[in-house]
Chains A and B, each alone.
Chain A
Amino acid sequence: MRTQRTSYRLTAYLFLTPNVAIFVVFIIAPAIYNFFLSLYRTSPFRPPVFVGPENFLYLLQKDDLFWRAVRNILVFVVGDVMLITGLSVLVGVLLNQNVRFRGFFRSAFFYPVLLSPVVVALVWQWILNSQFGVLNAILQGLGLPRQPWLLRADWAMFWAIFVHVWATLGFFAMIVLAGLQAIPAALYEAADIDGAGRWKTFRHVTVPMLMPTLMVVLILGMIRSFEVFDHIYVLTGGGPGTATLLVVHYIYRSAFQLDQFGLAAAASLVLFVVIFTLTVTQYLLGRSRGSI
């Protein structure tokens, strides 16, 4: 019996190995190195100098920009995740209906995901430009005043969230769509025989069966939201001022514009701890419900 158990476990480990090996070599080991780097001050002219917790103290006590970025990212994540979760379910269900031109609709929702973040940001920059943007042109056509969309702090954050949702909704809708395929028809028919209407069916059949998929959307969406960079960096550059400065942007700036790799590492460690804690919480909650 023991050999059976061992070979069973061995099989599991074997299946895991290729993927995990790549992770360890190419992500985990470098990440650990990075986290150690947070204890050093780096310079372009000489090798790094050990400074212990100095970077963290600076980050958490003296750096107004870092706290600004933290505040911004929290606002961003909440808005982004709420919209993505709700809309992806809605869109996923819609795209699952047996309507004509379904393939076309699916392609249309997925297109933005295929674009590189730079292109997405540029297109929306053009649309939202206060001087020659399409949106303002439409407003003027309707007799309404032009708005300085990306030049006002509150609007800039709104559009940052909007554009990110626009560019990633298709991704999550596809995931929901795949999840919907796993729901047995028998359940729908049973509900139907019981006389359940559309909404009741949705609530009592679709949603519970979608839970594992929803966990993916929620967790993945949250992580990606915290880590967003390219889209927003090109769209607003963190501006106006620091209204849309996000944490990864802060990290990038510290590392590649100010040569402060140790500081960047410290910030990335803080970010990691926050996201990891939230993810574990979600995971444990989900597990108690049996959906993960």
Chain B
Amino acid sequence: MARSLPHGEARKGKGDPMKRAALLTTLLLVLGMALLASSPVQAQVTTLRFLWFTDGPDKPAIEGLVKRFNDTNPDIKIEFSIVPFAELNQLLVTQASAGQAPDLARVNEPYRFFQYTLDLRPYLKNKNFAKDFLDEPMRMVTGERGELYGIPHDLTMNGPLVNVSLFKKAGVDLPKDRATWEDWMTAAAKVKKATGVPFAAAVDRSGHRLDGFLQSYGGGYFTRDGKDVRVTSAETRKAIEAFVGFHKDGTMPLDIWAGGTGYVGANQQFVNGQLVYYLSGNWQVAQFTDGIGNKFEWKAVPNGYETQAGGMPGGKFLIAFKNAKAPDKVARLVEFLGGADAMTEYAVKAMFLPTRKDLVRQGVKYPTRNDDMNVFIKGVGELPQSAYVDNYNLHFGQVGNEVRDRVTQVITGELTVDKALELAQTKAKELLKQ
């Protein structure tokens, strides 16, 4: 029967391409099987999974330490992997909920995982290990009944960095020590006008950075006892208004606070010499040393001072997870990384601040940029107590996100300051119920 078949060569069907594809697939299936087969298990060596996220200079620092540990502990092999920060929480929550979390992970919000973390106390050699570390950061990895889930690994401090060359070029003096945010903004605006750079001042889009700004006005997110929120307090309101005002008058660009979601940083603009005043933190120092080189002069300056010093402490933590197969070995790794020796090496190489009391007391000598690092360290000393209360509150991350997003809505004109703060306050109270 002659029929016009619309589908191209009908009976030629199976033909060569399909056979070839089948062959190729079988080949690759075999290859795949080979790859999928696990490597032979060596009973004497325990493998520990160590998860990390990096911002550059910390990578060689931690890799060096991992190698040292592997060399001096032949019965342990560390499997070290790096993941992007943006997906870190998702990844850990998902894996932990199925009992597949890594043995040790670097995180910035440890409390998120308290359901899944391991109490290291029974396995630690040094029974007073916790006391070696700064109290407030240590609280962040301590459970309700004193469980020790990990250690604070590095301390960060919020603070501004300025492009000194631009100031000089514009012939504007840098404001003095106890200058207010207003002073700095005005100066930066003058410099922008004189030199024609695109951005006068910028603050990272972050609830954490914002709180540092609020602190100097006496504002903040949480009450003293940490059990309630004070987002709608008069001091906070005043600070937010000032912050929004700096956007409305053009000193701070919309690009950062209205230009994205989640975290948005302005480091690239600063590195390119397009930004005069950048409120960020000490973790930028190492990046900037590499990225800026000799292109222009820059330095760290103190936070704005309204009624008190501003700024926010922060940092990263190492936490251990319950599903670890060899908790005693994990404890060994934690004690190593938290020891004075390893921590000094890490802090110096990565240009971070240490979290051990002894190291903070005796100070750390950084190979470069010692002065800038010390501006930050000094700032830590001047922090108001409320800064610690906020940052080390278990809901700080969530509330920070909420306030940050509401403030963005004010900046874009969607909400008034009062409405935004009211909504944030309500949501924060909801979150505290968790």
A contacts B directly (C-beta below 8 A): yes
Are A181 and B89 in contact, CB atoms less than 8 angstroms apart?
Answer: no
Inter-chain contacts of B4 with A (CB < 8 A): 184-186
Give the shortest distance, in Å, between A252 (CB) and chain B (any CB).
9
Query: Which of A41, A184, A237, A257 has a CB less than 8 Å from the CB of B6?
Result: A184
Query: Which of B6, B114, B394 has a CB less than 8 Å from the CB of A182?
Result: B6
Are A239 and B412 in contact, CB atoms less than 8 angstroms apart?
Answer: yes
Inter-chain contacts of A233 with B (CB < 8 A): 261
Give the shortest distance, in Å, between B144 (CB) and chain A (any CB).
8
Are B401 and A258 in contact, CB atoms less than 8 angstroms apart?
Answer: yes
Inter-chain contacts of B254 with A (CB < 8 A): 148, 151, 240
Are A239 and B408 in contact, CB atoms less than 8 angstroms apart?
Answer: yes
Closest to B426 in A: A62
From B4, B115, B259, B261, residue with most partner A Cβ within 10 Å: B261
With A45-B111, A242-B409 as known contacts, state yes or no: A151 contacts B93, CB within 8 Å: no
Give the shortest distance, in Å, between A30 (CB) and chain B (any CB).
12
Give the shortest distance, in Å, between A177 (CB) and chain B (any CB).
14
Q: Does B434 contact A (CB under 8 A)?
A: yes
Distance A181 CA – B5 CA, assembled complex (angstroms): 11
With A44-B114, A185-B4, A185-B6 as known contacts, state yes or no: A240 contacts B431, CB within 8 Å: no
Give the shortest distance, in Å, between A22 (CB) and chain B (any CB).
18
Closest to B431 in A: A258
Distance A181 CA – B113 CA, assembled complex (angstroms): 54
Query: Which of B111, B262, B412 has a CB less than 8 Å from the CB of A153?
Result: B412
Inter-chain contacts of B434 with A (CB < 8 A): 41-45, 259-260
- Among residues 248 to 285 in chain B, which have CB atoms less than 8 Å away from a CB atom of chain A? 253-255, 258-262, 264
With A44-B112, A242-B409, A242-B414 as known contacts, state yes or no: A237 contacts B7, CB within 8 Å: no
Q: Does B70 contact A (CB under 8 A)?
A: no
Distance A241 CA – B257 CA, assembled complex (angstroms): 9
Inter-chain contacts of A238 with B (CB < 8 A): 261
Are B115 and A45 in contact, CB atoms less than 8 angstroms apart?
Answer: yes
Are B261 and A239 in contact, CB atoms less than 8 angstroms apart?
Answer: yes
Q: Does A131 contact B (CB under 8 A)?
A: yes
Inter-chain contacts of B390 with A (CB < 8 A): none
Q: Does B423 contact A (CB under 8 A)?
A: yes
Q: How large is the interface on B (under 10, 10 to 19, 20 to 34, 35 or more residues)?
A: 35 or more
Distance A183 CA – B112 CA, assembled complex (angstroms): 57
Inter-chain contacts of B423 with A (CB < 8 A): 64
Q: Does B8 contact A (CB under 8 A)?
A: yes
Are B113 and A44 in contact, CB atoms less than 8 angstroms apart?
Answer: yes
Closest to B261 in A: A237
- Among residues 205 to 259 in chain A, which have CB atoms less than 8 Å away from a CB atom of chain B? 233, 236-243, 249, 253, 256-259
Q: Is the interface of A mostly helix, strand, loop or mixed?
A: loop
Distance A237 CA – B411 CA, assembled complex (angstroms): 15
What's the tally of chain A residues with a CB closer than 8 Å to chain B? 38
Are A151 and B258 in contact, CB atoms less than 8 angstroms apart?
Answer: yes
Are A256 and B114 in contact, CB atoms less than 8 angstroms apart?
Answer: no
Are B255 and A241 in contact, CB atoms less than 8 angstroms apart?
Answer: no
Give the shortest distance, in Å, between B322 (CB) and chain A (any CB).
14
Inter-chain contacts of A151 with B (CB < 8 A): 254-255, 258-259, 412
- Among residues 108 to 129 in chain A, which have CB atoms less than 8 Å away from a CB atom of chain B? 129
Query: Which of A43, A45, A240, A256 has a CB less than 8 Å from the CB of B412?
Result: A240
Inter-chain contacts of B431 with A (CB < 8 A): 258, 260
Q: Does B402 contact A (CB under 8 A)?
A: yes
Inter-chain contacts of A256 with B (CB < 8 A): 89-90, 93
- Among residues 85 to 128 in chain B, which have CB atoms less than 8 Å away from a CB atom of chain A? 89-90, 93, 111-115
Are A236 and B412 in contact, CB atoms less than 8 angstroms apart?
Answer: no
Closest to B408 in A: A241
Q: Does A291 contact B (CB under 8 A)?
A: no
Give the shortest distance, in Å, between A183 (CB) and chain B (any CB).
7
Give the shortest distance, in Å, between B91 (CB) and chain A (any CB).
10
Are B255 and A130 in contact, CB atoms less than 8 angstroms apart?
Answer: yes
Closest to B114 in A: A45
Inter-chain contacts of A182 with B (CB < 8 A): 6-7
Inter-chain contacts of A260 with B (CB < 8 A): 431, 434
Q: Does A289 contact B (CB under 8 A)?
A: no
Q: Does B398 contact A (CB under 8 A)?
A: yes
Are B414 and A241 in contact, CB atoms less than 8 angstroms apart?
Answer: yes
Give the shortest distance, in Å, between A201 (CB) and chain B (any CB).
16
Q: Does B433 contact A (CB under 8 A)?
A: yes
- Among residues 250 to 275 in chain A, which have CB atoms less than 8 Å away from a CB atom of chain B? 253, 256-260
Query: Which of A58, A131, A237, A242 has a CB less than 8 Å from the CB of B198?
Result: A131
Q: Does A81 contact B (CB under 8 A)?
A: no
Give the shortest distance, in Å, between B48 (CB) and chain A (any CB).
24
- Among residues 4 to 22 in chain B, which have CB atoms less than 8 Å away from a CB atom of chain A? 4, 6-8
Query: Which of B93, B261, B398, B411 has a CB less than 8 Å from the CB of A258?
Result: B398
Q: Does A2 contact B (CB under 8 A)?
A: no
From A181, A182, A242, residue with most partner B Cβ within 10 Å: A242
Q: Does A100 contact B (CB under 8 A)?
A: no
Are A239 and B260 in contact, CB atoms less than 8 angstroms apart?
Answer: yes
With A44-B111, A45-B114, A241-B409 as known contacts, state yes or no: A236 contacts B414, CB within 8 Å: no
Inter-chain contacts of A239 with B (CB < 8 A): 258-261, 408, 412
With A44-B111, A148-B254, A259-B434 as known contacts, state yes or no: A237 contacts B401, CB within 8 Å: no
Inter-chain contacts of B262 with A (CB < 8 A): 237, 257
Q: Does A160 contact B (CB under 8 A)?
A: no
Closest to B90 in A: A256
Are B260 and A257 in contact, CB atoms less than 8 angstroms apart?
Answer: no
Are B260 and A236 in contact, CB atoms less than 8 angstroms apart?
Answer: yes
Are A243 and B114 in contact, CB atoms less than 8 angstroms apart?
Answer: no
Distance A128 CA – B178 CA, assembled complex (angstroms): 40
Give the shortest distance, in Å, between A157 (CB) and chain B (any CB).
13
Are B260 and A237 in contact, CB atoms less than 8 angstroms apart?
Answer: yes
9 A-B pairs with least C-beta separation:
A237-B261, A241-B412, A184-B6, A43-B434, A237-B260, A240-B258, A241-B414, A240-B412, A241-B409
Give the B-binding residues of A (Cβ under 8 A).
Answer: 41-47, 58, 64, 129-131, 148, 150-151, 153, 181-186, 233, 236-243, 249, 253, 256-260
Given contacts A46-B115, A239-B261, A253-B401, 19 further A-B contacts (CB under 8 A): A41-B433, A45-B114, A45-B394, A45-B434, A58-B430, A130-B255, A131-B198, A148-B254, A151-B254, A151-B412, A153-B412, A233-B261, A236-B260, A236-B261, A240-B412, A241-B408, A241-B411, A257-B262, A260-B431
**22 A-B residue pairings within 8 Å (CB atoms):** A41-B433, A43-B434, A44-B112, A44-B114, A44-B115, A47-B115, A131-B198, A131-B255, A150-B259, A151-B412, A153-B412, A181-B7, A185-B4, A185-B6, A239-B261, A239-B408, A240-B412, A241-B411, A241-B413, A249-B261, A256-B89, A259-B398
